[in-house]
Amino acid sequence: MRLPDLRPWAFLLLADWALLWLLQGTLGALLPRGLPGLWLEGTLRLGGLWWLLRLGGLLRFVGALLPPLCLVTPLFLSLRALVPGTLSAPPARAASAPWSWLLLGYGAAGLSWGVWAVLSPPGAREREQGQENNRALMWRLLKLSRPDLPFLGVAAFFLAVAVLGETLIAYYSGLVIDILGGDFDPDAFASAIFFMCLFSFGSSLSAGCRGSIFTFIMSRINLRVRELLFSSLLCQDLAFFQETKTGELNSRLSSDTKLMSNWLPLNANVLSRSLVKVLGLYSFMLNLSPRLTLLSLLEVPLMTAAEKMYSARHQAVLQEIQDAVAKAGQVVREAVGGLQTVRSFGAEEQEVRRYKEALDRCRQLWWRRDLEMALYCLLRRMLHLAMKVILLRCGLQQILAGDLTRGGLVSFLLYQEDVGCHVETLVYMFGDMLSNVGAAEKVFCYLDRKPNLPPTGTLAPPTLQGLMEFQNVSFVYPNRPDQPVLKGLTFTLPPGKMTALVGPSGSGKSTVAALLQNLYQPTEGQVLLDGEPISQYKRRYLHQQVVLAGQEPVLFSGSVRDNITYGLKGCSDEKVLAAARAARVEEFIKEMKHGLDTGIQVPSAKPTHLPPQHHEFCSCLSSSGAFVPGEQGRVMMLYLHGQP
């Protein structure tokens, strides 16, 4: 059995003792007495140990132990001071404390660190590393939302007004109780009721405006992200689309962009509201009773620690449930898909047993998930109840001492109830933000991807002769590197003539057309147009001069005119009708109710169900570039599939 390395722990103890001795000898007389001195000493101790461990390269081993080691003593004595009558003398500093006190502090810090390590689920360190990547994605999302900062400022204004109104409602509720419990003053009572109604109305109106603005911001970000992603996808090389499924791209454009656009407005709405509400409520609570406010702060670290541990374990269980459900589904697919084999071997009972075992595993995980959720809810309620009892006891003592009124205690309890919910929201939403921002990772990968295309050329001559040459061209598709399509192909396409490429399916005829349009780059050799490499021409110019009428053309949703003029700008109706006339579909278009404005609904990308004359019409639409001005020198190619 391999023993753990004790050198980081020994270095931590020696460094801590040396630092305490140094603090006692240099700053012992300068530090203030009491709790401020304790907290200042703990902060200096934490900073010194952090610097020494980082200098020695040991911070990643024992860095998690530093906060409890340095701050457990001032935290304990600060909480102890909140209980009346338990501390009469000022607390001693850790540097001058006896060895027994230091050992007790070391034990408490080690115990808290050990409990945290035990309760943390397996893989927590890997998830923390993933959260670092999510933080980087979060900053990129914030930069992407920079154009919406003015609208966020307006939303923040309405947010502050809404939170202020909600906070003052509880204050006036306590004021009403004080008026009813003492000498009744009708004017003061009416004034309190009036301001309660006024702040309630103003808070509701501001909350509605805030929500509307955040929804507007959400739609702006959604449109911006979709446009950026779609533009990036259209610039990619064709090999990318052969390697990536269309369904995945649709998912990125629909679901992932929606999550990205919702991330900032929704989380900013909830987080900013909760944060402002917490700060505002604590300011009012501090004004009512500083002692009760400090006492109520004890609930925050406890609830935060419980939420973090539960969230980590809950995510791990959910992942196991997802895997178990997928395994059960795999059993069903295998059994149903191979039912003939299952029946021929008489293995029906075996498959039922496999499926039952998979369901039992799911049931165990579901029971574990529900049990942990129930225990977590019980712990939350017990902590909340214990805090309520402590606050009521201390509040009663302050009422008897005349430091707090009954209405003030009611207002404080209302504030404390509300602030607890918002603190839980802050803790939950921060972890949820880091988890959901991962949906943007694939979108950013597509946005950052550089297409594997050569830079566009500069040639754009006013006329082309149309001489196309293939010189020792070889080609292999990127997704099939072991299957060469063309090898040492050399031929010439003379201008003004029709050339027929005849061969069986898969012999490379369509590949020749793709190389001719510069959609792919040859693995070896060159494709020349009028003696110049085809990659030296401007991309848009080349696609205007070299067009393809495919065997199975693609129609786009829109009008007949939109499909004929696809890729062209400023094309008149005369040119459109001339193209239709050349394709011999002019009469067919005129018979339509709306002529060129007739809408085309495309249920699929390949309309092979159309009659032959409609196929000819589709060919006309997809090859509209062949009818733009400057037709001389066109290269026309005829593909004959099958044997000649």
Model pLDDT for residues 3-12, shown as the tens digit of each residue:
456 677 778 7
Nearest to 528 by CA among 539, 537, 540, 541: 537
229: Cβ–Cβ under 8 A, 6 or more apart, which residues? 252, 253, 257, 443, 446, 447
CATH 3.40.50.300: which residues of the chain?
Answer: 454-546, 549-622
Q: Tokens 């075996």 appear where? A: 350
Q: Give the number of residues written for the chain.
A: 644
What whole-number distance in Å separates Cα of residue 420 and Cα of residue 384? Answer: 9
d(CA 224, CA 226): 6
Domain 135-289+429-453, classified CATH 1.20.1560.10, yes or no: yes
Q: With bands split at pLDDT 50, 70 and 90, how would you rate the model's confidence at 633?
A: very low
SS3 560: helix
Asked if the model's pLDDT at residue 491 lies above 90, the reply is no
- pLDDT exceeds 50 at position 339: yes
> What would you report as the CA-atom Rg of the chain, rounded to the nearest whole angstrom?
37
The string of pLDDT tens digits covering residues 87-133 is 445 455 666 666 766 777 777 777 666 656 655 544 445 455 555 56
Residue 482 and residue 480: Cα distance in Å, rounded? 6
Indicate the burial class of 395 (C-beta count within 10 angstroms; 0-12, 13-18, 19 or more).
buried
CB 488 within 8 A of CB 526: no
Is the pLDDT at 490 greater than 70? The verdict is yes
Environment class of residue 26 by beta-carbon count within 10 Å: exposed (0-12), middle (13-18) or buried (19+)? exposed
pLDDT of 257 above 60: yes
User: Was domain 549-622 assigned CATH 3.40.50.2300?
Assistant: no
User: How is residue 577 annotated by DSSP?
Assistant: H
Helices (H), 235-338: 238-243, 246-251, 257-288, 290-296, 299-337
- The more confident residue out of 73 and 96 is 73
Q: In the predicted model, what is the mean pLDDT of the chain?
A: 74
Q: What is the pLDDT of residues 433-486, one digit of tens each?
A: 665 666 677 788 888 888 777 777 788 888 777 788 888 888 888 777 777 888
Q: Using DSSP bridges, classify how beta strands 532-533 and 599-600 pair: parallel, antiparallel or unpaired.
A: unpaired
Residues of each domain in the chain carrying CATH 1.20.1560.10: 135-289+429-453
Tokens of 481: 């590197």
Q: Which CATH architecture has domain 454-546?
A: 3-Layer(aba) Sandwich (3.40)
Interval 261-272 mean pLDDT: 76
Give the pLDDT confidence score for residue 630 in this predicted structure.
Answer: 30
The Cβ of residue 103 has, within 10 Å, a number of other Cβ atoms equal to 10
pLDDT band, residue 288 (cuts 50/70/90): confident
pLDDT > 50? residue 609: no
Give the whole-angstrom CA distance, residue 530 versus residue 466: 6
Supply the pLDDT for residue 2: 47
Cα–Cα–Cα angle for 325, 314, 299, rounded to 5 degrees? 165
| 493 phi, psi to nearest 5 deg | -105, 100
The pLDDT of residue 367 is above 90: yes
Return the residue matching tokens 């390269």: 57
- Where does the pLDDT of residue 187 fall: very low under 50, low under 70, confident under 90, or very high at 90 and above? confident
Q: Which residue has the higher pLDDT, 297 or 391?
A: 391
Neighbours of 438 (CB within 10 A): 15
198-202, 203-207, 401-405, 545-549: least confident range: 545-549
- Structure tokens that stand for 150 in this block: 């003015």
Question: Letter for the amino acid at 505?
Answer: S
346-363 mean pLDDT: 89
pLDDT (0 to 100) of residue 171: 72
Contacts of 107 (CB under 8 A, 6+ apart): none
What's the 3-state SS for 149-187? Answer: HHHHHHHHHHHHHHHHHHHHHHHHHHHHHHHHHCCCCHH
Rounded CA separation 455/240 (Å)? 17
Closest C-alpha to 64, from 10, 105, 117: 117
